[in-house]
Structure 1
Amino acid sequence: MDSVYNASNLLDEEGGISDAFKNCLALIFAKYCSPKPADPSSSQLPHYAYLGPAGLDAWALDTNGQPFSEDTKEEILQFMDVTDEGNLTFKGFLQIYQLQTENDPEETWSDLAKHGFDRSLTLVHES
């Protein structure tokens, strides 16, 4: 399988994040963000939702098995979209996955699997 096939459900024809992938990412983001969505099973996020330091660490731990290093956190917060207080926005979260998927779609599939999604981007189990 080549990487174009592996990224086909993840990226749209223009190379942006597909709607289905964005919905998956919203569900993942919702588990860790503040404020929490009213309905955690919905991909509707509160307008000002963000990942603070604890949420960022929890997401990294669940996704990678360990929190990010301080250098990685600084890089994320420097180059991705953040709030005025320096917390990662959903837009920034999408930017992370856009870059990762362009460079290593298999890593993205691995992340999605850890959060309960299959390769059709269906939530098959809660993580």
Structure 2
Amino acid sequence: MPPQPPALLDDDDWLAPPLEAALGEVFCRFDADADGAWSTAELQSFARTCNGGDEFGEAELSQVGEFTTDGHGRLTRRGFLEMMHLQTMARPEDTWADLRALGYDSSLSPKGVPGSSGAEAAPSEKPESVAAERDARLARTLQSEADAELAAKLAESLQAELIIEEQAA
């Protein structure tokens, strides 16, 4: 029997340490200017890598602003982790698909790691299959109003948590 992949979430329903470490590496990989926040170009490079060459549309870009950003509306590392947490809570299979496209295997170890230059997928994956998988993921997401409601509630919860943390500091 093949080994089970690691859990993506911990007992507190936050990103498990191996996933958080992998996502931290991903954030740094696409933060081309190493300023701690993703510009639209850096965010789109991430999107192209995960989505078979396709960039985020206006709706997705608008949603990104709901996560932690810097003073210029650019996604921070924390915001990226929040975004991936929300996706992982709602659709863990989408997170696994993104991780594969980003060059991680089922143990969350890097294999062929596409760089931030816009490589669409690991060499073993055909762009057509990545695009088909992305389209199927998008269709599932659009069909599920419950997921949208959950996403809104989680985003509100994360924002409230952030406000509490900022007030405590």
Superposition TM-score, scaled by structure 2 size: 0.61
The equivalent of 1:85 in structure 2 is: 72
The equivalent of 2:59 in structure 1 is: 71
Equivalent of 1:62 in 49, 54, 67? 49
Q: How many residues are treated as equivalent by the alignment? A: 110
* Matched-pair contact (CA < 8 Å) for 1:53–1:87: yes
Q: Between Structure 1 and Structure 2, whose CA radius of gyration is higher? A: 2
1:87 aligned partner, one-letter code: R
The equivalent of 2:93 in structure 1 is: 106
Distance 2:63 2:14 in 1: 22
1:35 to partner: Cα distance:
3.2
Gaps of 5+ in 2: 115-169
1:124 alignment partner, SS class: coil
Write out per-residue CA displacement over residues 16-47 of structure 1, whole angstroms, 9 at most, x where no aligned residue.
Answer: 001110111011111211533xxxxxxxxxxx
- Aligned counterparts, 1:1-127, within 5 A: 9-36=7-34, 49-65=36-52, 66-77=54-65, 79-127=66-114
Distance 2:59 2:104 in 1: 29
* Matched-pair contact (CA < 8 Å) for 1:9–1:121: no
* Matched-pair contact (CA < 8 Å) for 1:34–1:49: no
Distance 2:32 2:111 in 1: 25
1:16 aligned partner, one-letter code: W
What percent of counterpart residues are identical? 28
* Matched-pair contact (CA < 8 Å) for 1:116–1:125: yes
RMSD value over aligned CA atoms?
1.6
1:96 alignment partner, SS class: helix
Gaps of 5+ in 1: 37-47
Superposition TM-score, scaled by structure 1 size: 0.80
